[in-house]
Structure 1
C-alpha cells in the first residue's frame, strides 16, 4: 500500500471509531507528515483524494474537517446513497465566506434592510450581475434584470401573467423540472408537452407546436437538462430562436446550472436572440445554497412592467440581506473560486459515473451522462415495473427521484430514471450504481 493510501485509511478509520469528530479540525498536514514519516506533498495528496471523495473539506487558513458525523452514521456502509437530490450537499456550502458577506451586507445596507425597496432588486446588485453575466455570454443592461426570490417565484409569475402575444398555452419539454409542472397544475394553467429524450428534441414537431399551438411561451432547460442531462447544440438553439421570432412565441430559458459549464463555447439561447423573445433565468441555489433564495431574471422591455406589477403584490421585494451578500460575494472574487471548485467536483463525479456505467452491459438500458452539471439519466427501453424498482431501491438504502413528477398527466412515462451526483461521492457511486442497474434489470416486464 502506498503511503498516501495509508493516510487515507487512517483518517477513515479514526472517523469511524469516533476519534475524529464532525466539525473538529483534522490533524495538520505537517503533523501527519511527521507521524507517517513522509513528505508534506504526500499528505496533501491524501487529503486531496479524501476531499474529492466528499469525505472531508478544506477551509482556507483553518485546516481540514470531516463532512459527515460518522458517530451518528456508524459506518460508510449503512449510509443512504442519495441519487435523488437536486440541491448541493450542505457540506459544500461556503459557510464561512458567505457569513463574512452577510456581515458586510448588514453594515452596508442596514438603513434599507427593514424597509421596502425596488421590486426589481438592489440596484448595486443588478449592476454587478450585468457585469458578471458577461462571463456567460449574457450581455444586457441592469434595467433589464429583476431579482426574484428563487427561480420558482419567477416561473410562477411568468406562468400566470399575460404576454404581449395574447396567447394562452405554455409548452414544456417532457420530461422537465417538476417545480414547473407543479406551478402549472396549482395555477390551472393550460399546458402542452413536447418530448425531449436522451437525444434531444424534434425540431419539426417543435415548429408545428409553435405554429398551431397558441403558445405563450416555451419553457426549456437548454443545457444539463433536468432530468435527462441532455444539452442542445448550437444549431438547435439557433433554430429555436428563429422559430420563436417567426411565430411570435417567447422562450423562457432556465439555465439552472450554468455555473458548472466547462465548455466556454457552449452559449445560452439568450446569446442568439436578436428579437427580444428570450427570457433568461438563472438561479444561485444550485451553486451556493438553496436557502439563499435569489435568482436573476432578464426580461424583454415589453414584459417588464407587467412582471413587476405581479411581483410587487407577491412579495413587495426580494430580501435585501441576501441580495447584498450575493453582491459582495460576486465582487470579492469568492464566487468564481467557489464555482471552479464545484465545477471540478461534479465533473470528476460524472466522469467516474460514466466509467462505472460503461463497464456494465445491459441491452435494454440506455444512458446519458454529460460532462458536467448535476443530472444524468438512465432510460430503460422496455416495459418495467417502475414502482417496484423505486421501492426495492429504497429498501436497499438507495434513493431515486420518482420522475413521474416531471411529466404532465397526458405525457407520463415510466422509462426515465434521473441520477443526481450532487450528494454522492465516488465510493457511493461505485457501490450504488450496479445495484440500481441490477434492480432495473430484475423488474423488466
Structure 2
C-alpha cells in the first residue's frame, strides 16, 4: 500500500521518547533516562477525595462536554499563582488549558511555522519540542547554553542575520541540561528580543521545583505580551492527568482556541475539575516543598556519586532544581556508544543526540535523578563509571 504521506511527516518519527518510556518498564534496568516524577510525590488520597467531591456535587456537569478554553475557576487559580510567584498580572481569559504542555508546543508550531521559517531553540534543547517542531519543517537556529543561560553573543548575531518567528526556551532548570538563566542573562535576552520582533516562548515545567538558590523572574516580567508562557501540572501533581496550559495575549489566543478546537475540542474537562478541586482544598505550596526536599536529596546523591565514580575528565552540571543532570564526556567519545556498554550493565540514560538538530554521536547525555533512591543511584553511577573506563580503554 502506498501511504502517500504529507512531506512534513518525513522527519516526524523520533524513536527516543518511545524508547525512553519503554525502558522504564524493564524491572531489571536502572534507568536514569525517563524524566519521570517520583510516584511518592503523587497526592493519591487528595486526588481521590477531590474526584469524589466533584462527582458528588456536580457529577453530570463534570462528565459533559466543555469549552476549548478550559474550566474558568482553574484558569483563575493559574493566573493567581503567576501573581503569587512572579508578581505579574495575568488575565484568566489569556490562559488556554491543553493536554499537557506538549500539546501547547504543537499548537504554537501549527500557528506560527511554515516550512522553512526561522526558529530559535536552545543547544542542547528539549527533545519533545524538537519533535513537535520537526513536523512543521522550520529552519532551526541553535543558541548555545552557557552556565548562566543563553549565549547572548550568538543570539545577537543570529538576530542580525534573520528574523525568527519564535525563540523556544526553558529558562528554569532546562531540559536536558538542568541549567538556569541568571537574572542578568534574562535581561540581556529580553533586550535582544525587544529589538527583533521575535516572540519568546517560555516553557516552565520545572520552575516550581527549585531546591537551592533564589527564584528568578519570569521572562514576561521583562517582555510583557511578547512572551508566550507554557505551564503544566505534570511535575507538581501528576503527569497522567495530562493538564498543561498556554498563556498568550488575546491576538494570539483566538487562533490558539481555534487550533485547539480542531485538535480535540477541549482537554479532559473532568481532570480540570478534579485538579481545580484539589487546589482549592489543599496547600499546594506544602505539597511542592515535599517534592523539592525529595528531589534535592536525590540530586545531591547523584552529584556525590558522579564525583566519586566518574573519571576526572568527565564533567556534569549541578542543578539548583528540576529533574535533570547533564554529563559531558571527553571530546571524541560518543554517548550513544557508551549507552550500549552501559546497557550491558543494566543501566540506561538518554544520549545527547536527540537534544540537538543535525548532530550525531555527540559526547553528552542526560540523566534524571528523581525516580531512583540513594542505593539505586550509587549502583547505577558506579556501573556508568565502569562503562566509561571500559570505553576509554578500548579506544
**Structures share a fold, TM > 0.5?**
yes
Cα distance, 1:428 vs structure 2: 1.1
Give the 3 Å change call, closer, same or farther, for CA 385–189 of structure 1 in structure 2.
Answer: closer
Q: Residues 139, 270 of structure 1: CA spacing in aligned structure 2 closer, same or farther, 3 A cutoff?
A: farther
Equivalences, count: 365
Which blocks of at least 5 consecutive residues in structure 1 are unaligned? 1-72
1:147 has 2:100 as partner: no
Per-residue CA distance 1:179-216 (angstroms, 9 max, x = gap): 11111222333332222255643201112222322201
1:284 equivalent in alignment to 2:233: yes
Aligned to 1:422: 370
Give the Cα–Cα distance (whole angstroms) in 2 for the partners of residues 89 and 115 of structure 1: 32
Alignment of 1:267-278 (within 5 A): 267-278=216-227
CA contact (8 A) 1:109 1:324 kept: no
Q: 1:162 aligns with which of 112, 120, 128?
A: 112
3-state SS of paired residue (1:172):
strand
Any idea what SS the aligned residue of 2:342 has?
helix
Asked whether the 8 Å contact 2:229–2:246 carries over to 1, the reply is: yes
The aligned counterpart of 1:98 is 47
Distance 1:134 1:272 in 2: 11
Matched residue SS, 1:110: helix
- Structure 2 counterpart of 1:201: 150
Q: Please say if residues 149 and 171 of structure 2, whose CA atoms lie closer than 8 Å, have aligned partners that are also in contact.
A: no
Q: Which has the higher contact order (CA 8 A, sep 6+)?
A: 2
Q: Which has the larger radius of gyration?
A: 1
Tell me by how many angstroms 1:348 deviates.
1.1
CA contact (8 A) 2:148 2:185 kept: no
Residue pair 1:150, 1:295 contacting (<8 A) in 2 also = yes
Q: Could you say which residue in structure 2 is the equivalent of 1:333?
A: 282
CA deviation vs aligned residue, 1:372-409 (integer Å, no higher than 9, x gap): 21001110132114333111211111111133122212
Change (3 A) 1:103 1:270: farther
Q: Deviations over 1:109-165 (max 9, x none)?
A: 4343343322111011111211123332143121111111111100001012138xx
1:126 alignment partner in structure 2: 75
| CA offset digits 1:254-292 (Å, max 9, x no partner) | 111122123574224334234411111111112222111
Contact 1:80–1:397 (Cα < 8 Å) also in 2: yes
Q: Work out which of the residue numbers 313, 320, 340 in structure 2 matches 1:371.
A: 320
Q: CA RMSD in A?
A: 2.2
8 Å contact from structure 2 (residues 118, 141) kept in 1: yes
Contact between 1:234 and 1:266, CA under 8 Å: does it hold in 2?
no
State the shift of 1:90 in Å: 3.1
Q: State the TM-score, normalizing by the size of structure 2.
A: 0.86
Query: Quick check: 2:150–2:189 contact (8 Å CA) kept in 1?
Result: no
Does 2:44 align with 1:107? no
For 2:120 and 2:128, the matched residues in 1 are separated by 15
